[in-house]
Chain A
Amino acid sequence: MRSATASAREKARQAVADATRWQTPELAFWAVAIAAIFLFPSRHLLLNEIAIVGLFALSIDLILGYAGIVSLGHAAFFGVGAYTAGLLAKAGIGEPVAGLAIAAAVAAAVGFATSFLVIRGSDLTRLMVTLSVALVFVEIANRFESITGGVDGLLGISMGPILGLFEFDFGGTTAYCYSLAVLFGMFLVARRLVRSPFGTSLRALKENRLRAGAIGIPTARRIVTIYTISASIAGVAGALLAQTTAFVSLEVLDFARSADGLLILVIGGSGYLYGGLLGAIAFALMRDALSSLTPAYWMFWMGAILVALVVVGRERVVAKFAAAVDRLRGSGS
């Protein structure tokens, strides 16, 4: 009996190990992200921005890709995290990691409080509710000008060295290394979460919420939990932006930020965590390239590419790309 229990435990341990084992493309992705520190020394500011936007998209992927919750207001948590980190630095708590932890907690609290608004209703209701929550936060930040700086933004943020050791530099090297480390840490948490039975139950409720509830999955509790975690990660992304740019404006709460997050997931795909990261890279590179090529019309071309991507289908584009790579490999060998 004891050996049977031990064997069952061993099997369960093996199953978890199988599910969490790192695949070669994953290792390659993170290796390239680290190598970028040395490969693109003049682009660290852009890379930092990509890491932050990728983390924000990752937070949206947790609710959209795994629990099926559509949100147009996730910028609210990004903004709460940014303002928290900025205000803490202004108040003298300039150590970035401490600021990050507090920003995560505050964003999580706001996420928890507003999560009850997304438990019920259809996708359309959720879109409206989440958008409204974000608009409320924009107005709050605008009204409390004496605290937030209003439309002028939060000025005079002075960040201390990370853990008292690493000073931020003008080239953005420390900023990128810091953001990449935080992104990786958050990614590990998210990866572990979505591959656990908790993550599986989220996918079950995404497929059919009524059925999931009837077979014993506490759907409301699951949604509240993942929404809170997602808000916390969005808050961390916001805090990173505030700390690495030493500036916070109303733009952190902007609707466009939430929409960009969703667009990034349209580009990269949702429900596998890397979609947000790959999408953020593609989005930033496309924007960078198009704005250099056609400074006046880059938004037009960006829109055209996104429309084409949606109409043709990302999977089909990726399949064609993969087939072309295979053909090239074939002709090369």
Chain B
Amino acid sequence: MADLLRLENVVSGYGDAVVLNGLSFAIKEGRSLALLGRNGTGKTTTIDTIVGVTRHHGGRIVLDGVDISAAAPEARAHAGIGWVPQERNIFKSLSVEENLTAVARPGRWDVRAVYTMFPRLGERRRNLGGQLSGGEQQMLAVARALVLNPRLLLLDEPLEGLAPIIVEELLAAIASLTREEGISAIVVEQKARKILATTDDAIVLDRGSIVHRSTSRELLGDPAALDLHLGVTSRN
């Protein structure tokens, strides 16, 4: 299967500061990838770089054979990249429905389809984004990325600060999207065990470079690697 997204020796960061120094990896169509690492290792910068909100210093970002390194963020979104940013970042002054209709593009995922996936959003469609709970905001952030009808979802710490029951609900949604709907996904997450059980492949970053690459199942079954790279105890 062909690569959907490929990063080739990407160098990027914020302003003159370089965070990613020659990062290379690829994700195939229909696969999901867990992007792991301790705090400050470049996970969010990787996502931001793919989205196009960092300064690009070098290398190539190729989406479905097309170099998008110089493309504007909205062009990347229209090319099929859906972004669920860290801390949700929904539009708090817009209602749930307005958050969705503001970005919706034609395709299988319309407002009705995301309400079917997240019925709670349908119930609260007239509420302002700022009136939602953390879990509902996260659902809205995922739904907002879905109505763009993306081929690749980028989820930046989607489980952060959520109640356990909401975490399970969201993990089920992510699994359904990647395994049943065939949408590729890159998921940055601190809850390593949770996300490794949901994804196909895993990459561990340290200081902007890849220090481990395997399938998620292999990493999950290797307590030594988990402890070495992530300091993950049996509970995390």
Residues of A within 8 A of B (CB): 8, 11-12, 15, 197, 200-201, 203-204, 207-208, 210-219
Task: Verify if B120 is at the interface (C-beta below 8 Å from A).
Answer: no
Q: How far is the CA of A211 from the CA of B85 in the complex (A)?
A: 9
Task: Verify if B8 is at the interface (C-beta below 8 Å from A).
Answer: no
Beta-carbon contacts under 8 Å, B31-80 to A: 51-53, 72-74, 77-78
Of B105, B110, B112, most A-chain CB atoms within 10 Å: B112
Residues in A neighbouring B97, C-beta threshold 8 A: 15
Name the residue on A nearest B101 (C-beta): A197
Q: Chain A's nearest CB lies how many Å from the CB of B34?
A: 22
* A216 x B148 contact (CB < 8 A): yes
Q: How far is the CA of A87 from the CA of B112 in the complex (A)?
A: 53
Q: How far is the CA of A11 from the CA of B100 in the complex (A)?
A: 15
* B74 x A203 contact (CB < 8 A): no
Beta-carbon contacts under 8 Å, B99-115 to A: 99, 101-105, 110-112
Residues in A neighbouring B111, C-beta threshold 8 A: 12
Name the residue on B nearest A210 (C-beta): B53
Given A200-B101, A200-B102, A207-B91, check contact A215 B145 (CB 8 Å): yes
Q: How far is the CA of A71 from the CA of B145 in the complex (A)?
A: 33
Task: Verify if B233 is at the interface (C-beta below 8 Å from A).
Answer: no
Given A11-B112, A201-B102, check contact A213 B91 (CB 8 Å): no
Given A197-B102, A204-B102, A204-B103, check contact A216 B94 (CB 8 Å): no
Task: Verify if B92 is at the interface (C-beta below 8 Å from A).
Answer: yes
Q: How far is the CA of A141 from the CA of B86 in the complex (A)?
A: 52
Residues in A neighbouring B74, C-beta threshold 8 A: 213-214, 216-219
Q: Chain B's nearest CB lies how many Å from the CB of A221?
A: 9
* A208 x B91 contact (CB < 8 A): yes
**Chain A contact residues, majority secondary structure:** helix
Q: Chain A's nearest CB lies how many Å from the CB of B90?
A: 9
Name the contact of A217 in the complex, choosing from B82, B92, B103 (C-beta under 8 A).
Answer: B103
Q: How far is the CA of A134 from the CA of B52 in the complex (A)?
A: 35
Q: How far is the CA of A259 from the CA of B104 in the complex (A)?
A: 37
* B148 x A215 contact (CB < 8 A): yes
10 examples of A-B residue contacts, CB within 8 angstroms: A11-B112, A12-B111, A207-B91, A212-B91, A213-B74, A214-B85, A215-B77, A215-B103, A215-B145, A217-B74
Residues of B within 8 A of A (CB): 51-53, 72-74, 77-78, 82-83, 85, 89, 91-94, 97-99, 101-105, 110-112, 144-145, 148
Residues in A neighbouring B83, C-beta threshold 8 A: 214-215
Residues in A neighbouring B148, C-beta threshold 8 A: 215-216
* A8 x B112 contact (CB < 8 A): yes
Residues in A neighbouring B72, C-beta threshold 8 A: 213
Residues in A neighbouring B104, C-beta threshold 8 A: 197
Given A210-B53, A211-B89, A215-B77, check contact A203 B112 (CB 8 Å): no
* A203 x B53 contact (CB < 8 A): no
* B94 x A203 contact (CB < 8 A): yes
* B103 x A216 contact (CB < 8 A): yes
Residues in B neighbouring A210, C-beta threshold 8 A: 53, 73
Name the contact of B98 in the complex, choosing from A12, A200, A216 (C-beta under 8 A).
Answer: A200
* A204 x B94 contact (CB < 8 A): yes
Name the residue on A nearest B129 (C-beta): A207
Q: Chain B's nearest CB lies how many Å from the CB of A20?
A: 13
Name the residue on B nearest A201 (C-beta): B102
Q: How far is the CA of A219 from the CA of B77 in the complex (A)?
A: 12
Name the contact of B77 in the complex, choosing from A201, A208, A216 (C-beta under 8 A).
Answer: A216
Q: How far is the CA of A218 from the CA of B162 in the complex (A)?
A: 31
* A8 x B110 contact (CB < 8 A): yes
Residues in A neighbouring B82, C-beta threshold 8 A: 215
Q: How far is the CA of A211 from the CA of B129 in the complex (A)?
A: 15
Given A200-B101, A203-B94, check contact A213 B112 (CB 8 Å): no
Residues in A neighbouring B101, C-beta threshold 8 A: 197, 200
Name the residue on B nearest A195 (C-beta): B98
Q: How far is the CA of A214 from the CA of B110 in the complex (A)?
A: 19
* A216 x B89 contact (CB < 8 A): no
Q: Chain B's nearest CB lies how many Å from the CB of A104?
A: 27
Residues in B neighbouring A211, C-beta threshold 8 A: 85, 89, 91
Residues in B neighbouring A218, C-beta threshold 8 A: 74, 78
* A207 x B93 contact (CB < 8 A): yes
Q: Chain B's nearest CB lies how many Å from the CB of A14?
A: 12
Q: How far is the CA of A212 from the CA of B103 in the complex (A)?
A: 8
